[in-house]
Amino acid sequence: MPKKPSVSPKQILALIESQQYRCALSGRELSPETASLDHVIPLSRGGVHDISNVQVLDYRVNAAKGTMTVEEFVAMCRDVAIHAERAGLPAVVAAVPPPPEG
């Protein structure tokens, strides 16, 4: 039986360091309280739990991404930003609270 892929704490730390302690999608600064492991190709869509298929995101970004692929999530974010601008909605960035101080 082949060994099930996994991700070690050492690999996660190296990944966070390679991302310069920033969310892979938003660029937000990560802390132990805000960091969340994400599967680039979601497990529910055939992705594997392996270091080649994970990235570290801000937990709020990961919650919004859900089971979407990165491409689907970025496209949705673009649609939201375009609609918000056309509708004259207030700037979303100003409404997002900063991450908790750690």
pLDDT value at position 89? Answer: 85
Whether residue 41 contacts residue 69, with contact meaning beta carbons closer than 8 Å, is answered with: yes
pLDDT value at position 45? Answer: 95
pLDDT value at position 93? Answer: 56
CA-based nearest residue to 65, from 38, 91, 85: 38
Architecture of domain 9-95 in this structure? 3-Layer(aba) Sandwich (3.40)
User: Could you tell me the pTM of the whole model?
Assistant: 0.81
Whether residue 70 contacts residue 78, with contact meaning beta carbons closer than 8 Å, is answered with: no
pLDDT value at position 97? Answer: 56
User: The dihedral of CA 34, 38, 44, 45: what is its sign?
Assistant: positive
pLDDT value at position 100? Answer: 57
Q: Can you give the C-alpha Rg of the chain in angstroms?
A: 15
The domain limits of the chain are: 9-95
pLDDT value at position 3? Answer: 58
pLDDT value at position 95? Answer: 46
pLDDT value at position 94? Answer: 47
Q: What gap in Å lies between CA 5 and CA 80, rounded to an integer?
A: 35
pLDDT means per 10 residues, the chain with 102 residues, are: 78 97 97 96 95 97 96 96 89 55 56
pLDDT value at position 2? Answer: 56
